[in-house]
Amino acid sequence: MNADFSADEIAFQEEVREFLKKEFPADLKAKVDANIRLSKDDMVRWQKILFARGWAAPTWPEEYGGTGWNHTQRHIFATEMGLYGAPEPIPFGMKMVAPVIMAYGSEEQKQKFLPDILASNVWWCQGYSEPNAGSDLASLKTSAVREGDHYVVNGAKTWNTLGQYADWIFCLVRTDNTVKKQEGISFLLIDMKTPGITVKPIVLIDGFPEVNEVFFDDVKVPAENLIGEENKGWTYAKVLLTHERTNIAGVARGKRRLIALRKLAQETQDGVGGAMIDNASFKKRLAEVEIELQALEYSELRTLAALSVGKAPGPESSILKIVGTELAQRMDEMFVELAGYNSLPYVPEQFEEDFDGEYLGPGTTAAAALTYFNNRKLSIFGGSNEIQRNIISKAVLGL
Amino acid sequence: MDFSYTEVQQMLQDQVQKFVQKSYDFDTRNEIVASEAGYSKEFWQLFAELGWLAVPFSEQDGGLGGSAVDLMVMMEEFGKAMLVEPYTATAVLGGSLIANLSDGDQKETLIGSIIGGEVQLACAYVEPQSRFNPLNIETSATVQGDSISLSGTKIAVENGGNADKLIVIARESGAATGLDGLSAFLVDASANGVKLTAYTSVDGRKAAQVQLDNVQLSAGDRVGAAGAAGEALLQAIDKATVGVCAEAVGALESLLAKTVEYSKTRKQFGTPIGSFQALQHRMADMFIECQLARSIVMMAAMTLDSQEDAVEKTKAVSAAKSRIGKAIRAVGQEAIQIHGGIGMTEELDVGHLFKRVTALDIQFGDGEYHTERYASL
């Protein structure tokens, strides 16, 4: 048993590092380091750089323009990206809808949609949750009624992340009311420009409209936008959810934040002549977080090793989701603790790119509380941590 | 032993509850937060008429007795409604400093105008390097003949932008973090050399950063004796800390009530989510946290009122703030989690309560700080 990389893998790691140093734009790096939100244009620019290098889709097979990397290479790539602060591509197209299209879409659908996802020409968003269908997703009510060569869609989707930027939305819709709730759901792709669609922003507690409600009012969708068979959408969606839960541990991002936390602790005065890094209680808790991160990292590597020998990603990925998100939230608390009074001013403009005023508080401390607030979402979305614990108790422990 | 409220306390509680129910709903609060002053002058006058601004002062000073338990009873109700009026800054922190340090005409006039609702105060003591140690003050007061010159930087000055007078704590002598040598000065925000940057806090209150650059004062602007403000500052902060602890208890009770209510109405998998045992136990834990928080704040308030020993008082206050800090995280985070996505939205009051209690945790030192302070006493 060993966790060492081979010589080839080490060479690959070097290659990724070199690439990031050279190609991740300095202005974006500066924004990431200063906690400034990346714009849609920033994201697309970076994704197109990855595309040009042939690295846009580490998880795709080569036949669709993916890298064809094995699990270890993907891990190395994701780790280096996370450590450097380079954002992963927006997942909705690349990691969510694309695998479903590949697995269940028609040849026409693959040709129509996959190249534009790969090249970041089209921005996708997700239409799953509804006001009354959250953790109980299968109870969704948005309906699609077949009329000749199209469906007529009516209903409302919510918690739609960054839908304000989106060109297309993939939706779970109800096509049969008469059967068990999971068996009457279909998977539909919808052009956001179709008449009858309204996007209403939802402002979150950090003040940013990160998510939306999307309303469908007699929206006509060509029948050719149905993925696979009618009423099989739930099966397809479950495949997608498994993909959503891989690489969710965020170990590399965690390591990067731990470095930032330690740096901030060195810079933060304790009020009695020293620095917070020497505060015994803080130091102990920082060590606890670092230890937890190692336990998480090796849990992820174990999952990776299992995948490498051909095992399917199982319910163990729920562990990574739970521990990864809760650890990130613990670090949020420690950033707030260090920032103290400096985390209290609410000046959202200073996290936008055109801000030219005077910063309140040193460095990025003013972002600490807002990040703490925003990241409470981590344990709610992507299948809440309660749902993940249900999965473990049912699927793993057989309870 | 008697844990019941006196008639006056009962009346105070009823009054605040009635006011909040009638005039201070969530929408009204949001309008007040969005207004330029960030508090309602009309309500402030009402607080004066109802005698609420007199609560922190002794009868001798023209107040209602100055009991910490009275303050607790009232501020718990403030907390439930997330009141943003600068009660702590003006009446408790500012008021206590004036009451403890000032004398003669200056004292009578100032306390009279606080109780009458005619003056807004802000206490400028926190500095960039001081973290939660109120005695770590570098702002200097230098006497030059008849005048005194103030220079330094103050942060987290609650109500700074609205204050008619800033009470600036500055060092006239003594060691960098020593109790001796600190003086309090009344400074006009409009005085030469004062640069004030006002902002809104994450929890909807108004605060400011203040730069003092050779601000010229006279000896008459000093409150109390030169270099003798340290003890009064600590006492004022301790009293205000009990107040914000009570505020937090109220806000946590609100979070618990709203979460339980939501769990009874929100249905998933064909049943209210409150019927799931996993969630029931967590709400039971929230309830336990709220009860322990309430108990320890009562302990602290009663200790402030009855204990003679200064160290015992300080220990009681730190014990309360430390334990409340734990409750704030536990109850605040669970309330959001059990609400799910809707708890993350600006539209619902739950997220605002969460932000308020997070800010209350930081104000006057977070739980970790107070645990250490307790251990050191």
pLDDT tens per residue, range B294-342: 999 999 999 999 989 999 999 999 999 999 999 999 999 999 999 999 9
Q: CA B295, B298, B304 angle in degrees (round to 5)? A: 145
pLDDT confidence band for A80 (50 / 70 / 90): very high
The string over A208-242, giving b where at least 16 C-beta atoms fall within 10 Å of a residue's C-beta and e elsewhere, is: bebbbbbbbeebebeeebbbbebbbbbebbeebee
Question: Catalytic annotation on A244?
Answer: yes
Distance CA A67, CA A73 (A): 10
DSSP symbols for B325-367:
HHHHHHHHHHHHHHHGGGGGBTTSHHHHHHHHHHHHHHTTS-H
DSSP-derived 3-state class of residue A394: helix
Q: CA A281, A283, A286 angle in degrees (round to 5)? A: 110
Annotated domain spans of chain B: 7-119, 122-228, 231-376
What ipTM was estimated for this complex?
Answer: 0.97
- Share above pLDDT 70 across residues of chain A, in percent, rounded to a whole number: 98
Size of interface A-B (CB pairs under 8 A): 129
In chain A, residues with a C-beta closer than 8 Å to the C-beta of B368 are 281-282, 337
Q: What is the mean predicted confidence (pLDDT) over A315-343?
A: 94
Taking alpha carbons only, the member of B157, B30, B120, B5 closest to residue B81 is B30
Predicted local distance difference test score (pLDDT) of residue A365: 83
Closest residue of chain B to A333, computed from CA coordinates: B329
Reply yes or no on whether the pLDDT at A247 is more than 70.
Answer: no
Q: Which fold has domain B231-376?
A: Butyryl-CoA Dehydrogenase, subunit A; domain 3 (1.20.140)
pLDDT confidence band for A367 (50 / 70 / 90): confident
Q: Which fold has domain A123-233?
A: Butyryl-CoA Dehydrogenase, subunit A; domain 2 (2.40.110)
Picking from A205, A271, A358, the nearest residue to B351 by CB comes out as: A205
Q: Does domain B122-228 have CATH number 2.40.110.10?
A: yes
Q: What is the mean predicted confidence (pLDDT) over A73-97?
A: 93
Distance CA A65, CA A101 (A): 14
Q: Which fold has domain A248-396?
A: Butyryl-CoA Dehydrogenase, subunit A; domain 3 (1.20.140)
In chain A, residues with a C-beta closer than 8 Å to the C-beta of B136 are 271-272
Predicted local distance difference test score (pLDDT) of residue B278: 96
A190-193 long-range contacts (CB < 8 A, ≥24 apart) are A190/A127, A190/A153, A190/A216, A190/A219, A190/A221, A190/A225, A191/A167, A191/A221, A192/A125, A192/A163, A192/A166, A192/A167, A192/A168, A193/A167
Q: What is the CA radius of gyration of chain B?
A: 21
pLDDT confidence band for A245 (50 / 70 / 90): low
Closest residue of chain B to A379, computed from CA coordinates: B337
* Phi and psi torsions of A185, nearest 5°: -110, 135
Q: What is the mean predicted confidence (pLDDT) over A321-346?
A: 96
Query: pLDDT per residue over A94-145, tens digit each?
Result: 999 999 999 999 999 999 999 999 999 999 999 999 999 998 999 999 999 9
Predicted local distance difference test score (pLDDT) of residue A3: 82
pLDDT confidence band for A248 (50 / 70 / 90): confident
Annotated domain spans of chain A: 7-89, 123-233, 248-396
Q: Which fold has domain B7-119?
A: Butyryl-Coa Dehydrogenase, subunit A; domain 1 (1.10.540)
Burial label for B59, CB within 10 Å (0-12, 13-18, 19+), is exposed
Residue type, A37: R
Distance CA B305, CA B56 (A): 12
Which residues, given as ranges, of chain B have pLDDT below 50? Answer: none
pLDDT confidence band for A242 (50 / 70 / 90): low
Residue whose pair of structure tokens reads 């108990």 in the numeric block: B295
pLDDT confidence band for A244 (50 / 70 / 90): low
Picking from B177, B337, B372, the nearest residue to A273 by CB comes out as: B177
DSSP symbols for B198-250:
EEEBTTS-EEEEEEEEEEEEEGGGEESSTTB-HHHHHHHHHHHHHHHHHHHHH
* Cross-chain Cβ contact A362/B128 below 8 Å: yes
Q: Structure pTM?
A: 0.95
DSSP-derived 3-state class of residue A269: strand
Q: What token pair was written down for A294?
A: 């190692």
A186: β partners: A173
Catalytic residue among A80, A130, A244, A337: A244
pLDDT confidence band for A243 (50 / 70 / 90): low
Q: What is the mean predicted confidence (pLDDT) over A367-372?
A: 93
Distance CA B313, CA B241 (A): 12
In chain A, residues with a C-beta closer than 8 Å to the C-beta of B126 are 341
> Distance of CA A360 to CAs A347, A349, B40, B104, B228, Å?
8, 11, 26, 39, 31
Q: What token pair was written down for A152?
A: 């007529």
Distance of CA A172 to the CA centre of its chain: 19
